[in-house]
Amino acid sequence: MKIIRSPTSMATWSEQLRRQGVKIGFVPTMGALHEGHRALIREARLRCNALVVSIFVNPAQFGPREDLAKYPRPISQDRALCRKEDVDVCFEPTVEDMYPSGFQTMVTLPTIARRWEGEARPHHFSGVATVVTKLFGIVRPQIALFGQKDFQQSALVLQLVKDLNLGVEVVVQPTVREKDGLAMSSRNVYLSSDDRMRAATLYRSLQAGAEIIRRGVTNGKAVQSAMAQVIEKEPAITIDYLAVCDPATLEPLSSVMRQAVLLGAVRLGSVRLIDNILVVAKQARRKF
């Protein structure tokens, strides 16, 4: 496995392969790789000739009071995982190379970024959209894989690629979970052992919402209450939001007639967790 740090060398490597007709696959990450990343990398490996994984803790997507400095950076373990999964290039640019002096261009998607994570983290999605545009410009992949765990992020990337004609096939892969249902996340390491025990409550809450939709409940507020009830049984957990939304626009649905994404964000102590489930309404299923 090649480790490339300079964006210019990375772009040259990709350009040469593309000219030879090689299909380049790409999994952008912030490192601290877990089983969720491994699943993305494995799927990418099956879908391309040359596989690039980037490891870059992107300062532009962290807010001033967020965990940029303490974000985990276990680089040797990350590289070992990449090697094991047969990654061809581990791209590890520096902050200085990605955001040199004079850097100013920002990519924004005001509609998709407005709600949910965008409300909680005002410049987060603009930071994500900008770094994804940059990474796609450098790596020039034909295909890129993202995890469904960050649902709003994957919706944003799909819209971004379409809007800016970036010519990359974006594939969103299902969330990988711990045995108790907690979605894999690099931030799970922050949880105290007590909070770790409670953390799967978020997923159970989303499941409760999905379950009543499957059974035929269409009222968005009713679904939201069903989800909230599960969380409220755990006084140590604070709800940031629980929402029943259109999967494409992320706008709240008053009535679930076709498909919905149930989005949740909660706090356990200083740790913030997000998760989501996609669900098809009973009514929509009946049509087949």
Closer of 125 and 151 to a copy of itself (Cβ): 125
Using an 8 Å Cβ cutoff, are 45 and 25 in contact? Answer: yes
Shortest Cβ 255–a copy of itself spacing (Å): 21
Shortest Cβ 54–a copy of itself spacing (Å): 12
Binding mask 179-208 for a copy of itself (x = CB under 8 A): ------------------------------
Shortest Cβ 211–a copy of itself spacing (Å): 31
- Residue 252 to residue 117: CA distance in whole angstroms: 14
Closer of 76 and 105 to a copy of itself (Cβ): 105
Q: Which range in 66-74, 165-173, 178-186, 208-216 contacts a copy of itself by CB under 8 A?
A: 165-173
Shortest Cβ 256–a copy of itself spacing (Å): 21
- Using rule CB under 8 A, residue 64 touches a copy of itself: no
Question: Which DSSP symbol is given to 183?
Answer: B
Helix (H, G, I), strand (E, B), or coil: what is residue 238? strand
Closer of 125 and 203 to a copy of itself (Cβ): 125
Out of 112, 144, 184, 243, name the contact with a copy of itself by CB under 8 A: 112
Strand partners, 244: 262
Closer of 181 and 247 to a copy of itself (Cβ): 247
Choose the catalytic residue: 34, 37, 123, 124.
37
Greatest Cα pair distance, the chain, in angstroms, is: 58
- Residue 1 to residue 248: CA distance in whole angstroms: 37
- Using rule CB under 8 A, residue 102 touches a copy of itself: yes
* Beta strands 237-245 and 259-268, pairing class: antiparallel
Out of 29, 54, 58, 133, name the contact with a copy of itself by CB under 8 A: 133
- Using rule CB under 8 A, residue 232 touches a copy of itself: no
* Beta strands 259-268 and 143-147, pairing class: unpaired
- Using rule CB under 8 A, residue 250 touches a copy of itself: no
Closer of 110 and 235 to a copy of itself (Cβ): 110
Q: List own/partner pairs for 39-43 with CB under 8 A and 24 or more apart.
A: 39/147, 39/173, 39/174, 39/176, 40/145, 40/146, 40/147, 40/173, 41/81, 41/82, 41/85, 41/87, 42/85, 43/145, 43/171, 43/173
- Using rule CB under 8 A, residue 107 touches a copy of itself: yes
Burial (0-12, 13-18, 19+ Cβ within 10 Å), 219: middle
- Using rule CB under 8 A, residue 105 touches a copy of itself: yes
Strand residues in 134-248 grouped as ranges (E): 143-147, 169-173, 237-245
Q: Which range in 63-71, 126-134, 209-217, 267-275 contacts a copy of itself by CB under 8 A?
A: 126-134
Whether 37 sits among the annotated catalytic residues: the reply is yes
Pick left, alpha or beta for residue 165 (phi over 0 → left; psi -120 to 50 → alpha; otherwise beta): left
Across 113-126, b (16+ Cβ under 10 Å) vs e yields bebbbbeebebbbb
| Residues in contact with a copy of itself by the rule CB under 8 A | 7, 11, 15, 18-19, 21, 102-112, 129-130, 133-134, 137-138, 140, 159-160, 163-167, 249
Report the catalytic residues.
Answer: 37
